[in-house]
Amino acid sequence: MRRRDEGDTDVNHWQARARPLPATTAAAVMAAALLAGCSSNQPPSPAAPFAATRNVHPLTDAQLLRISDAQQVLLRRCMNRNGFAYWQAQRLSLEESRTAGYVSDDVNWARKHGYGSRITVKDDRSRRHNPNIAYHASLSAAQRGKCDAAMDGGLDAPVITADLPRGGIVKKREGGCVAESEKQLYGDVRGWFRADKLASSLQALYVPKIMADPKFTTTLSAWSQCMNRTGHPFTDPGAARQAAAQQSLQLDAAQAFRAERDLAVADATCARRTSLTAIGKERENHYIKELPRTYRQALNLSRAFQHRALQRAAALAPPRT
């Protein structure tokens, strides 16, 4: 349920961006969300640098990618000003960069890409051959230290923290070209980081409720029955994707992709017939509305930051096609 490639700056900038999310089982999705911690349920109070209107709508994949691409432009400009080369990450197409959620009902995409395994291979290849890695390695130790300091402030950069809903804390350095690019896009580096990390970890609070919701579980059962009728007896979409991944280890590449594509088409077809995607989204919105007010404010604040960044990104990067 989390979008891929959202322009998150808390990454190693010497590696290419826009990596598709790996397929996971429903249990793994829930476990990942719950890893945020399990202590306090008291919501922290995010400091809002500007008033976020209520119920700010989320950006589309295309809009989030445009912010990510704009940040790459800003990083290149900043690093060049500091005397270092920087190559913008090779970009997947908009079609290839789609969100990898719990389930998809896009039959045409599944017919063309299966579960996206070939896209992952393409992206991994791009990462391995990222010119920034070779360039960074080619520098002397002293120059690498200066390059790292130019990128994110280095070891002496101040550290900012964000409290997570169930007691965890995440940290990042605030400095260098990363901080400068975030400042130019979002306006308030610390406010954006804290709102974004809190908002993106809220799945820990509502995903288990979705998975136990009677309306959702009834629809999931209907999806499973549909899959069984097509000769694919799986209990949930995550199990189907896992089976496709296992097949890739047992068959040659061409056979594995045909099997993956056939399974993904059946998965998406059954999701469409049972409205699993639509009902999952409706249940997600329902449980988000039940979150404590402070959490809903953080989610809207995070989205408001993204809307601000999108306006600024429009002058820096074209829409991805």
- Positive/negative CA dihedral, 170, 176, 182, 187: positive
Predicted local confidence at residue 166, as pLDDT: 84
- Report, as an integer, the average pLDDT of 2-6: 41
Across the range 295-302, mean pLDDT stands at 94
Mean pLDDT of the chain: 86
At residue 105, does pLDDT exceed 70? yes
Query: Tell me, what's the pLDDT at 13?
Result: 57
Instruction: Give the pLDDT mean for 74-99.
Output: 94
| Residue whose token pair is 């992709």 | 257
Give the residues across from 169 on adjacent strands. Answer: 163
The predicted model gives 286-311 an average pLDDT of: 96
Given this model, what pLDDT does residue 16 score?
38
259-265: long-range contacts at Cβ-Cβ below 8 A with a sequence spacing of 24 or more?
260/114, 260/115, 260/117, 261/110, 261/111, 261/113, 261/114, 263/114, 263/115, 263/232, 264/110, 264/111, 264/113, 264/114, 264/115, 264/240, 265/107, 265/110, 265/111
**Which residue has better confidence, 34 or 226?**
226
Mean pLDDT of 152-164: 94
- pLDDT at position 193 is 97
Is pLDDT of 305 > 70? yes
The yes-or-no verdict on residue 40 having pLDDT over 80 is no
**Total number of residues shown for the chain:** 321
C-alpha 34/C-alpha 205 separation (Å) is 8
For residue 45, pLDDT over 80 is answered with: no
pLDDT at 313: 98
pLDDT at residue 81 is higher than 50:
yes
Measured in whole angstroms, the distance separating CA 77 from the mean position of its chain's CA atoms is 25
How much is the pLDDT for 100?
Answer: 77
Confidence of residue 52 (pLDDT cuts 50, 70, 90): low
Least confident among 32-36, 143-147, 317-321: 32-36
Structure confidence by residue, pLDDT tens digits, 240-284? 999 999 988 899 999 999 999 999 999 999 999 999 999 999 999
For position 27, what pLDDT does the model report? 35
Is 43's pLDDT higher than 90? no
pLDDT for residue 296: 94
What average pLDDT score do residues 66-84 get? 98
**Kind plus residue range of the DSSP H or E element containing 161:** strand 159-163
pLDDT of residue 167: 85
- Give the dihedral sign, CA 24/30/34/36: positive
The pairing of strands 159-163 and 169-173 is antiparallel
**Domain ranges across the chain:** 1-20+54-99+112-200+305-321, 203-290
Is the pLDDT reported for residue 9 higher than 60?
no
Place of tokens 């995440």: 170
Instruction: Kindly give, in sequence order, each residue whose CB lies less than 8 Å from that of residue 221, ignoring residues fewer than 6 positions away.
Output: none
Residue found by looking up tokens 């049972």 in the block: 274
Give CA–CA dist 166/162, Å, rounded: 12
Residue-wise pLDDT for 198-229, tens only, equals 999 999 999 999 999 999 999 999 999 999 99
**pLDDT above 80 for 22:** no
306 compared with 12, residue with greater pLDDT: 306
Reported confidence tier of residue 89, pLDDT bands at 50, 70, 90: confident
Separation of CA 269 from chain center? 25
